[in-house]
Amino acid sequence: MLCTKCGSRNVIIHRRYSGQYLCKECFIKAIQKKVLKDIKKYKLIKKSDKVLVALSGGKDSTTVLDILSILAERNIIELEVITIDEGIGDYRKKGIEYASKTCKELGIPQHIFSFKKHFKVTIDEIMASKPPRKACTYCGVLRRWIINKEAEKLGADKIATGHNLDDEVQAIVMNYLEGNIENLIRIGPTTYSQKFVTKIKPLREIPEEEVTAYAMAKGLNVHLEECPYRKTSFRKKIGTILTKLSEDHPTILYSTLRGHEKIRKALKKELEGESILRACIRCGQPAAQDLCRACTLLNEIGG
Amino acid sequence: MKFTLIIDDEKKTMKFREKLTIKDVLKNFNIPLEAVVIKKNGEIVIEEEQVDDGDIIEVIKVIYGG
């Protein structure tokens, strides 16, 4: 097989959804071009924005940082990193080591915050107490709480996360299957709220397989271990089904994403009422009810 | 003929007789193409790549998270 773009024999990827074969150089360029184009198309970043990358050390966030550093090198944006230590045994320790090494190499300031310091409890301790919910619920909600709070303190204009195409489609299918139709409105390239720093997803249209291949092809320093709590998650079950379906239907992730974009507009018109946010009575962070979601969960587990 | 397969940090020596591609190897282990990135002798390759005697094939699973 020859590279569709330059004719090289050293092909490293076959994009079954488009029929393209690409060599290492053309693949790296294609990913960077697509991400930078999406940043423009969806107006994810403005000139001079201070962008805070939520970096775990894994393939997705490291790839986001790598591509955004192109904009930082051109002095278009200011780039910093936030890393959260949720307290997941050796898994997280290793991830932080990878993340810190990457920041050092790129000369990007890194801010590390922990669940232990903020909430006086780690994910391992929460799960050891046999709580009513799955680890991913506590982890996701509490991590977002710290990121929102600290991003504001750090004066960030945007928070960039590593969500890829597979993550987005999994979220669409999960929310649909669970009947969380209101959540479907919130899934998109940006998460904007007047009360929080805007979150952006530059890799939203890049398949997970290609994010992995990009990190490998560029020789990025990434932590490839799977979170021990992920094995039991609903997301993993949905992800496995979608990957299996993609074998015979290679365009299915893109068609689901595009379909959601159309439905989202209609749902927005039909369902969206501006939910009034107030200050959480416990932590002062924006909340839809008396307690924010993080404090509700902490209350449940007696934290 | 033989090749070395590295999967989940585990090394296996695999024997084969006839023409074999990466796609055949993945099929044998029931691994979907979209779930992995494959390296042959340290270089990323596509599923059509042929496996030759003495090759080291590394299966890198596309893991959620990060």
pLDDT digits over B3-18, tens only?
999 998 899 999 998 8
The whole-angstrom separation of Cα A105 and Cα A164 is: 24
Helix (H, G, I), strand (E, B) or coil at A272: coil
Chain A residue numbers touching B48 (CB-CB < 8 A): 1, 14
Measured between CB atoms, does A118 come within 8 Å of chain B? no
Residue A6 has pLDDT above 70, yes or no: yes
Q: Determine the residue of chain A that is closest to B63 in CA distance.
A: A226
Q: Select from B32, B44, B60 the Cβ nearest to the Cβ of A244.
A: B32
Q: What pLDDT is recorded for position A99?
A: 98
CA distances from B1 to A131, B15, B25, B53 (A): 53, 6, 14, 5
Q: How far off is chain A from B47, nearest CA to CA, in Å?
A: 8
The whole-angstrom separation of Cα A191 and Cα A224 is: 27
Mean pLDDT lowest among A29-43, A85-99, A118-132, A286-300 = A286-300
Q: How far is CA A129 from the centre of its chain?
A: 28
A212, A226, A235, A245: best to mutate for the B interface, most B CBs within 10 A: A212
Counting one residue from chain A and one from chain B, the pairs whose CB atoms sit within 8 A come to 79
Chain B residue numbers touching A162 (CB-CB < 8 A): 66
- A107: its two tokens: 């000369």
Dihedrals phi, psi of A38, to nearest 5 degrees: -65, -35
* Nearest in space to A229 (alpha carbons), one of A145, A128, A161, A148: A128
pLDDT digits (tens, 9 = 90+) for A146-162: 999 999 999 999 999 99
Output the CA torsion A105→A210→A225→A172 (10° steps).
Answer: 120
Q: A11-47 as b/e, with b when 16 or more CB fall inside 10 Å?
A: bbbbbbbeebbbbbebbbebbbebbbebbeebebbee
Dihedrals phi, psi of A75, to nearest 5 degrees: 60, 30
Q: What pLDDT is recorded for position A182?
A: 85
Q: Select from A212, A239, A243 the Cβ nearest to the Cβ of B37.
A: A212
Confidence of residue B65 (pLDDT cuts 50, 70, 90): low
The residue-averaged pLDDT of A254-259 equals: 98
Instruction: Quote the pTM value.
Output: 0.93
Residue A245 has pLDDT above 80, yes or no: yes
Helix (H, G, I), strand (E, B) or coil at A26: helix
Chain B residue numbers touching A13 (CB-CB < 8 A): 44, 46
Q: Determine the residue of chain B that is closest to A84 in CA distance.
A: B66
The whole-angstrom separation of Cα A171 and Cα A184 is: 8
Residue A282 has pLDDT above 80, yes or no: yes
Chain B residue numbers touching A95 (CB-CB < 8 A): 66
Confidence of residue A279 (pLDDT cuts 50, 70, 90): confident
The B-side interface with A (CB below 8 A) comprises 32-37, 39, 43-48, 60-66
pLDDT digits (tens, 9 = 90+) for A161-181: 999 999 999 999 999 999 998
CA distances from A8 to A19, A21, A25, B57 (A): 16, 10, 10, 22
End-to-end CA distance of chain A: 58
Q: Are strands B56-61 and B36-40 parallel, antiparallel or unpaired?
A: antiparallel
Strand (E) or helix (H) holding B9: none
Residue B8 or residue A221, greater confidence: A221
Q: What pLDDT is recorded for position B33?
A: 86
Is A60 in contact with B32 (Cβ distance < 8 A)? Answer: no
